Structure 1
């Protein structure tokens, strides 16, 4: 009997359907640092190279991927067009853009807008001052909610059950030596954020980067995103948070008001949610 050649490469990946595989390849394709080689995408997704190659060829045929030098691939024009259309199709983002520009002008720091996807914050827009350094949180960048200012701001207005589902979904990874990974410590931080109307993140996601953020709510009082500013620690000193915090909070409430949200009373926390967390 003839021996199968490279039989491992044709074995189906258990538990993953065709759509699941395609979505994983798309996510790997748009990661920073592209274009990406086929082998790199295979490692990131856990799929075999023949599977990744077949999916990339299909995506390229439809304009979602584009071959690049050295056998690598980049995002295709159709994918970029869909992404641009999606980013422009949102009232919250439309309201946030001029607010971010004003916040960046008044603070001198990068101003960001992010939304929640499951347990991650996804950055959609930023207004960045002209400087020699740039933040890593670019549009499309994802960060765990517990490790970034915008994520903590969104967590601070979730119910106790919702917040606990995020904090206990899996062991929390320390992204820097300063990252808070203890759910109890994070709960206390969220209580403070709810009282102040803004959250402070101090080198939790990146070394030497501090951020301040506040939640954006819709007319039903549900969080739809967060606005924040981010800067290097030597340009955003701890005592400046008392100045920047209210500015960020006011910016987020401007967007919230445009979405029909009522302005909350400062210093009032949902005691039921707090009790659930404790």
Structure 2
């Protein structure tokens, strides 16, 4: 039998369109550690250098990218302005900012607010104390739901079928030796988090870093985000977590109440009896 030529495998992904390529370039452009060189953006996106250069040139013409010395690029003023306008219009962020500042003062740790996009948690805001070390949870950063405290907190408050779908959409790749990648272990962790109203992430994403987070709900009782605090393991031992957990849960409830979350939904964020936590 003669084999047909120029045919595509049914499993082959469709070719990326120009809009998809531009979005990928834009996402790579705003990653931490910028300005970024053209070659670095090409590696991140898997696109050719000429393609990346064409998109960056167009973005620069419209103010979304800005060339710097050495052939690097950073976010342009128009992009920064759009981001600032979008964030300033967020009711949840307006409510979260003073709560994050309060959490940072009371715990001495970085406090942050994140939302969900598909199978990732996206960090939008943080309040960070003056420290000689810096955490990875920078605004704009994405983390897998299954490996981050805020992600686990949001998953724990989702309907079971929606949480399962989000986990199935993830590769469940181990980020550290401690990452939970077995579905049964993740379900048990989500059940524990749902019971006490906050999730604990124990070196799942970064070595030597722990976090605790609680979900934020809207007026319909739906998950819209999560508030958390993070610190090095020696500053967040088991005794500290027993204190920080309820504090983070209360902070998330404050934001949820400001969004009009039903009392019945907020009452689910409670402290489990000691025997049920073990």
- Superposed CA deviations along residues 146-188 of structure 1, whole A, max 9, x for unmatched, are 1111010000011111111121224311111111111110010
Alpha-carbon offset, residue 33 of structure 1: 1.3
**Aligned-partner Cα distance in 2 for 1:46–1:158:** 33
- Superposed CA deviations along residues 54-106 of structure 1, whole A, max 9, x for unmatched, are 11100000000011111111111111111111111110000000001111111
Are 1:105 and 2:105 an aligned pair? Answer: yes
CA RMSD of aligned residues (A): 1.4
- Does the 8 A contact of 1:37 with 1:72 survive in 2? yes
- Residue ranges of structure 2 left out of the alignment (5+ in a row): 1-12, 271-278
Q: Give 2:125's aligned residue.
A: 125
Residues 1:61 and 1:158: Cα distance change in structure 2 (over 3 Å): same
Alpha-carbon offset, residue 266 of structure 1: 4.3
Q: Give 1:265's aligned residue.
A: 267
Q: Give 1:79's aligned residue.
A: 79
- Does the 8 A contact of 1:199 with 1:213 survive in 2? yes
Are 1:162 and 2:172 an aligned pair? Answer: no
- Does the 8 A contact of 2:212 with 2:244 survive in 1? yes
Q: Give 1:5's aligned residue.
A: none
**Aligned-partner Cα distance in 1 for 2:57–2:138:** 28
Residues 1:95 and 1:170: Cα distance change in structure 2 (over 3 Å): closer
The 5-angstrom pairing of residues 119-198 of structure 1 reads 119-198=119-198
Residues 1:49 and 1:267: Cα distance change in structure 2 (over 3 Å): closer
**Aligned-partner Cα distance in 2 for 1:151–1:186:** 12
Q: Give 1:249's aligned residue.
A: 249
- Does the 8 A contact of 1:168 with 1:183 survive in 2? no
Alpha-carbon offset, residue 49 of structure 1: 1.3
Secondary structure in 2 matching 1:43: helix
Secondary structure in 2 matching 1:162: helix
Residues 1:267 and 1:82: Cα distance change in structure 2 (over 3 Å): closer
- Does the 8 A contact of 2:208 with 2:233 survive in 1? yes
Q: What is the TM-score when the length of structure 2 is the normalising length?
A: 0.89
Secondary structure in 1 matching 2:249: helix
- Residue ranges of structure 1 left out of the alignment (5+ in a row): 1-12, 269-278
Alpha-carbon offset, residue 14 of structure 1: 5.6
Q: Give 1:34's aligned residue.
A: 34
Q: How many residues align?
A: 256
The 5-angstrom pairing of residues 226-245 of structure 1 reads 226-245=226-245
- Superposed CA deviations along residues 177-221 of structure 1, whole A, max 9, x for unmatched, are 111111110010000100000000000111111101000000000
Alpha-carbon offset, residue 262 of structure 1: 2.1
- Does the 8 A contact of 2:144 with 2:170 survive in 1? no
Residues 1:170 and 1:250: Cα distance change in structure 2 (over 3 Å): closer
**Aligned-partner Cα distance in 1 for 2:82–2:269:** 42
